[in-house]
Amino acid sequence: MALAALGFAALVGVIAVVDADGTSSALGIGAGVAVTIFVAGGNLACALACLARRRAEILALGSIAASALAIDLFVLSIWREIDDETYGKLTAIAFVWTIFGLPILGLVLAVRPRAQLARALFLGAIAASIVAGLIATWLIASTGGGVTPLSPFGITSIADASLLRPLAVALVLLSTMWFGALAAGRLEQSEA
């Protein structure tokens, strides 16, 4: 599934670049597709590594599906110039879960917490990532008319701006707890 999604994205991305109207348009399309593939590809790589190590298998399978969907919907929308709000929201939501799945899978691969501090930071980082993903999903789903596949994060009107502060808090907690869990896990390993 992962290889099929990447192969499809590469084929359609190349077609979109070749089919672009001008040189700068082709460069913009190529850069957008490349960034999308790098983020989703990182998630795919972590998910496949989790599957190979038999860790967080259900999450890994869900991340593969979200990443494949995000990549393929995005490149298809660029190539076919799809400008549908629902399609854009679906693309953005798939990409959000690709982004927030990546730190969870990376942490699952990097840390096997046994001590209380490492476990608390590990679970806190996972919870913060899930909360941030849920808030971002709600913001995208509830926004009115400003999301298109060609600019999934170019939201012009936010339906519930009061959720931006909790989203920012979740992002801060995610980043600090993620690195804290990594450091505590390494300290735990060195003491063992």
Give the tens place of pLDDT for each residue, 131-147.
999 999 998 888 876 55
DSSP 95: H
- Has residue 175 been placed in a domain? yes
- Has residue 77 been placed in a domain? yes
Q: Are 167 and 139 in contact (CB under 8 A)?
A: yes
- Has residue 176 been placed in a domain? yes
Q: What is the pLDDT of residues 2-46, one digit of tens each?
A: 888 888 888 988 998 999 888 988 998 899 889 989 999 999 999
- Has residue 59 been placed in a domain? yes
Question: What are the backbone angles phi and psi of residue 20, rounded to the nearest 5°?
Answer: -60, 150
In whole angstroms, what is the distance from residue 10 CA to residue 30 CA?
10
Q: What is the pLDDT of residues 93-113, one digit of tens each?
A: 999 999 999 999 999 999 999
Residue holding tokens 């980082």? 125
Domain count, the chain: 1
- Has residue 192 been placed in a domain? no
Residue 152, pLDDT > 80, answer: no
Tell me the residue range of the domain where 173 lies: 2-187
Per-position DSSP letters for 115-135, written without gaps between them: SHHHHHHHHHHHHHHHHHHHH
Q: What is the pLDDT of residue 157?
A: 59
pTM confidence score:
0.85
Residue 175, pLDDT > 90, answer: yes
